[in-house]
Amino acid sequence: MDLYGEIILDHFQHPHHHGRLDHATLSGRDSNPLCGDQIQLDIMANAEGTITDVGFAGQGCAISQASASMLTDELIGKSLFEAAQMSNEDIFQLLGVPISPARVKCALLGLATLKKTITLDKLRMS
Protein backbone atom coordinates (compact mmCIF):
# COMPACT_ATOMS: atom_id res chain seq x y z
CA MET A 1 0.00 0.00 0.00
CA ASP A 2 1.07 3.57 -0.69
CA LEU A 3 1.27 4.72 2.90
CA TYR A 4 4.11 2.41 3.76
CA GLY A 5 6.39 3.11 0.82
CA GLU A 6 10.14 2.58 0.88
CA ILE A 7 10.97 6.13 1.90
CA ILE A 8 8.59 6.33 4.86
CA LEU A 9 9.65 2.93 6.13
CA ASP A 10 13.31 3.80 5.72
CA HIS A 11 12.85 6.95 7.80
CA PHE A 12 10.93 4.95 10.44
CA GLN A 13 13.49 2.20 10.69
CA HIS A 14 16.53 4.45 10.28
CA PRO A 15 15.43 7.85 11.53
CA HIS A 16 17.65 10.85 10.71
CA HIS A 17 18.93 13.08 13.51
CA HIS A 18 17.66 10.63 16.10
CA GLY A 19 18.68 11.27 19.68
CA ARG A 20 18.69 14.21 22.05
CA LEU A 21 21.14 17.15 21.78
CA ASP A 22 23.14 17.99 24.90
CA HIS A 23 23.26 21.76 24.51
CA ALA A 24 20.09 22.55 22.62
CA THR A 25 19.10 26.16 22.07
CA LEU A 26 15.43 25.22 22.09
CA SER A 27 13.62 22.07 23.17
CA GLY A 28 10.00 21.02 22.91
CA ARG A 29 7.74 18.05 23.33
CA ASP A 30 4.32 17.07 22.08
CA SER A 31 2.17 13.97 22.06
CA ASN A 32 -0.90 12.63 20.36
CA PRO A 33 -3.27 11.47 23.10
CA LEU A 34 -5.22 9.36 20.64
CA CYS A 35 -2.47 6.82 20.05
CA GLY A 36 0.23 7.75 22.54
CA ASP A 37 2.73 8.94 19.93
CA GLN A 38 5.38 11.23 21.40
CA ILE A 39 8.08 13.45 19.93
CA GLN A 40 10.81 15.38 21.70
CA LEU A 41 12.68 17.89 19.59
CA ASP A 42 15.97 19.67 20.29
CA ILE A 43 17.19 22.51 18.07
CA MET A 44 20.64 24.08 18.02
CA ALA A 45 20.83 27.55 16.46
CA ASN A 46 23.76 29.94 15.97
CA ALA A 47 23.85 33.63 16.94
CA GLU A 48 22.23 34.59 13.61
CA GLY A 49 19.29 32.34 14.39
CA THR A 50 20.19 29.73 11.79
CA ILE A 51 19.51 26.12 12.74
CA THR A 52 22.79 24.21 12.85
CA ASP A 53 21.68 20.90 14.33
CA VAL A 54 18.53 19.03 15.25
CA GLY A 55 17.82 15.95 17.34
CA PHE A 56 14.58 14.15 17.94
CA ALA A 57 13.46 11.28 20.09
CA GLY A 58 10.09 9.68 20.44
CA GLN A 59 7.92 6.69 20.04
CA GLY A 60 4.91 5.96 17.95
CA CYS A 61 3.64 4.78 14.63
CA ALA A 62 5.66 4.70 11.43
CA ILE A 63 3.89 7.77 10.07
CA SER A 64 4.58 10.02 13.05
CA GLN A 65 8.20 8.95 13.42
CA ALA A 66 9.01 9.03 9.70
CA SER A 67 7.47 12.46 9.20
CA ALA A 68 9.46 13.78 12.17
CA SER A 69 12.62 12.32 10.69
CA MET A 70 11.89 13.91 7.28
CA LEU A 71 11.18 17.21 8.98
CA THR A 72 14.57 17.25 10.70
CA ASP A 73 16.29 17.04 7.31
CA GLU A 74 14.50 20.19 6.27
CA LEU A 75 15.33 22.21 9.35
CA ILE A 76 19.09 22.46 9.21
CA GLY A 77 20.15 25.64 7.44
CA LYS A 78 16.78 27.31 7.88
CA SER A 79 16.36 30.30 10.17
CA LEU A 80 14.28 29.71 13.28
CA PHE A 81 11.74 32.09 11.80
CA GLU A 82 11.53 30.12 8.54
CA ALA A 83 11.26 26.86 10.42
CA ALA A 84 8.38 28.15 12.49
CA GLN A 85 6.55 29.10 9.26
CA MET A 86 6.47 25.53 7.94
CA SER A 87 2.95 24.40 7.09
CA ASN A 88 0.90 21.21 7.11
CA GLU A 89 1.16 21.23 3.33
CA ASP A 90 4.97 21.15 3.58
CA ILE A 91 4.74 17.96 5.63
CA PHE A 92 2.26 16.30 3.25
CA GLN A 93 4.65 17.11 0.39
CA LEU A 94 7.57 15.56 2.24
CA LEU A 95 5.57 12.39 2.88
CA GLY A 96 4.46 12.34 -0.76
CA VAL A 97 1.54 9.93 -0.22
CA PRO A 98 -2.12 10.53 0.52
CA ILE A 99 -2.72 10.64 4.29
CA SER A 100 -6.16 9.47 5.39
CA PRO A 101 -8.02 11.70 7.89
CA ALA A 102 -7.44 9.13 10.64
CA ARG A 103 -3.68 9.44 10.21
CA VAL A 104 -3.32 13.20 9.74
CA LYS A 105 -2.60 13.75 13.42
CA CYS A 106 0.20 11.18 13.27
CA ALA A 107 1.66 12.83 10.19
CA LEU A 108 1.64 16.30 11.72
CA LEU A 109 2.94 15.45 15.20
CA GLY A 110 6.53 16.41 14.30
CA LEU A 111 5.39 19.76 12.96
CA ALA A 112 3.21 20.36 16.02
CA THR A 113 6.24 19.69 18.20
CA LEU A 114 8.31 22.09 16.11
CA LYS A 115 5.67 24.80 16.58
CA LYS A 116 5.74 24.24 20.32
CA THR A 117 9.54 24.33 20.29
CA ILE A 118 9.94 27.58 18.39
CA THR A 119 7.61 30.07 20.01
CA LEU A 120 7.93 33.85 20.14
CA ASP A 121 8.52 33.71 23.89
CA LYS A 122 11.37 31.30 23.49
CA LEU A 123 12.88 33.30 20.63
CA ARG A 124 12.97 36.44 22.75
CA MET A 125 14.75 34.60 25.54
CA SER A 126 17.33 32.88 23.35
Partner 1 sequence: MLQFVTMLDVSAIKKEFPIFERRVNGNPLVYLDSASTTQKPKVVLDALVEYYSTMNANIHRGVHTLSEEATAAYEGVRAKVARFVGAREPAEIIFTRNATEALNLVAYTWGEKNIRAGDEIAVSELEHHSNLVTWQELCRRKGAVLRVIPLTSDADEGESSRRAATNNVDSGAQDGAVLGDGNLDVSRLDEFITPKCKLVAVTQMSNVLGTVTPVEEIIASAHKVGAVVVVDGAQGVPHLGADVQKMDCDFFAFSAHKMFGPTGVGVLYGKREHLEKMPPFLFGGEMVKEVDQMKAEWNDLPWKFEAGTPNIADVIAFGKALDFVDGLGFERIRAHDQELVTYARQKLSDFDGVTVYGPAVSGGIVSFTVAGVHPHDVASILNEAGVAVRAGHHCAQPLMQRLHVPATTRMSFSVYNDFADVDSACEALKNVYKIFKF
| Residues forming the site for partner 1 (CB under 8 A) | 1, 3-4, 9, 13, 34-37, 59-63, 100, 102-103, 106
Q: Choose between 25 and 64: whose C-beta lies nearer to partner 1.
A: 64
The answer to whether the CB of 117 falls within 8 A of the CB of 26 is yes
Cβ of residue 71: shortest distance to partner 1, in angstroms?
18
Residues in contact with 10: Cβ distance below 8 Å, sequence separation at least 6, in sequence order: none
Q: How far is the CB of 40 from partner 1 (least distance, A)?
A: 12
Closer CB to partner 1, residue 37 or residue 42?
37
Q: In angstroms, what is the minimal distance from the CB of 123 to partner 1?
A: 31
Q: Which value, in Å, is the radius of gyration of the alpha carbons in the chain?
A: 14
What's the min distance (Å) between Cβ of 109 and partner 1? Answer: 12
**Helical segments of the chain, H only:** 6-13, 62-75, 80-84, 88-95, 104-107, 109-117, 120-125
Please choose, from the candidates 39, 48, 42, the residue with its C-alpha nearest in 3D space to the C-alpha of residue 20: 42
Nearer to partner 1, 36 or 77 (CB): 36
